[in-house]
Amino acid sequence: MSIKKTITIGKKTNQPITINRFGYGTMQLTGDLVWGEPKNRTEALQILKSAVNKGIQFIDTADFYGPDVTNRLIAEALYPYPSDLVICTKVGLSRSSDKGWRPFNTPENLRKSIERNLKTLKLDQIQLVHLRIMPNTETPFEKQLETMFEMQNEGKILHVGLSNVNPNELNVALKMGHIASVENAFGYRQRTTFKVHGQEYRGLEGVMPLCIKNEIPMIPFWSLQNSLPKNDDKISVIADKYNATSAQINLAWLLHYNELLLPIPGTSQLKHFDENIKAFDISLTDEDMKFLG
């Protein structure tokens, strides 16, 4: 069973970007609780350089990782950037002094975030920005997205995407403008919406029909989390069959599940990065996928 090796962001626009269908998420490069500098700065920089050297063309970051730690690492490791590298960031959140997460989604704050991302990443335009949706905040969703499209028209953003979105919000967004990608929680063991520490994480499963209908690339976060009851037996059986790790089979499952999925597994260890990227070359059969479910 072959997989599609590339994916196109902004396919229906006049500036589509086609990249390899395996990315890297930088969140784990920070300190504990996504706060502060990495425990091993040298290794963090090595991972970023290795990613590009091994064909990764999509790096996911955010100015609230650290805060601003992963953006600085990316610039230090990779600037000037390869012409085929897409750096995707997120806005809509910020960090509090107690290391918590808070909404940062008024029009003024969204603009501040974009300007901070541009400055730290040393870019004139960010190729893809996800608006991270925090449910039940004061600023209406439509007002947030309107600001994103305004900044796109100003040339600060090339493509606009959504993160943590539900079906109703995605339907509204599609009527307002082009949505280039959706980044929600999704993995073999966690496909639907769930809550952790009072925060709601929307699953890709709920918006997947809309994304498929509109050919919107789907970027899963928490793809290697074990939030549902474990089904290790099936993963282990397939892992043994291919002499692979459980993480590799989880990622291979994503790649085979739907060709619009763009995995971005993160890690702070070069060894695990090297293992994860090998999932791109694992070919699961139809029988394997049926067995995994």
Q: Give the global pTM.
A: 0.96
Angle at 182 between CA 50 and CA 93, to 5 degrees: 80
Confidence of residue 173 (pLDDT cuts 50, 70, 90): very high
The pLDDT assigned to 198 comes to 80
Condensed to tens digits (0 to 9), the pLDDT of residues 30-45 reads 999 999 999 999 999 9
**Confidence band, pLDDT 50/70/90 cuts, at residue 17:** very high
Cα dihedral 2, 237, 250, 35, rounded to 10, equals -160
| Average pLDDT for the chain | 95
Q: How far apart are CA 87 and CA 77, in angstroms?
A: 13
User: Is residue 227 scored above 80 in pLDDT?
Assistant: no
pLDDT of residue 96: 93
Superfamily classification of domain 22-285: NADP-dependent oxidoreductase domain (3.20.20.100)
Q: What is the pLDDT of residue 196?
A: 86
Domains of the chain by residue range: 22-285
Label residue 224 by pLDDT band (50, 70, 90).
Answer: confident
For the chain, what percent of residues have pLDDT higher than 70? 97
Helix pair angle (141-153, 107-121), 10° resolution: 40
pLDDT tens, position by position, 137-159 = 999 999 999 999 999 999 999 99
The model's confidence at residue 232, banded by pLDDT at 50, 70 and 90, is: low
pLDDT in tens, 99-126: 999 999 999 999 999 999 999 999 999 9
Q: What is the pLDDT of residue 222?
A: 86
Task: Assign 228 a pLDDT band (cuts: 50, 70, 90).
Answer: very low
Sign, CA dihedral 284-286-291-293, equals: positive
User: Is pLDDT of 230 > 60?
Assistant: no
CA separation, residue 112 to residues 91, 108, 229 (Å): 9, 6, 40
Q: pLDDT tens, 235-280?
A: 999 999 999 999 999 999 999 999 999 999 999 999 999 999 999 9
What single letter denotes the amino acid at residue 198?
A: G
* pLDDT reading at 225 higher than 70: no
pLDDT score of 80 more than 80 = yes
Question: Which of the residue ranges 59-68, 121-130, 166-175, 195-204 would you say has the lowest mean pLDDT?
Answer: 195-204
- For residue 65, indicate whether it is catalytic: yes
CA distances from 205 to 76, 166, 182, 183, 212 (A): 36, 10, 11, 11, 11
Instruction: Report the percent of the chain where pLDDT is more than 90.
Output: 91
Active-site position among 24, 65, 188, 201: 65
Closest of 164, 270, 271, 169 to residue 210, by C-alpha: 169
Mean pLDDT of 12-26: 97
Q: How far is CA 95 from CA 92, 104, 231, in A?
A: 11, 9, 34
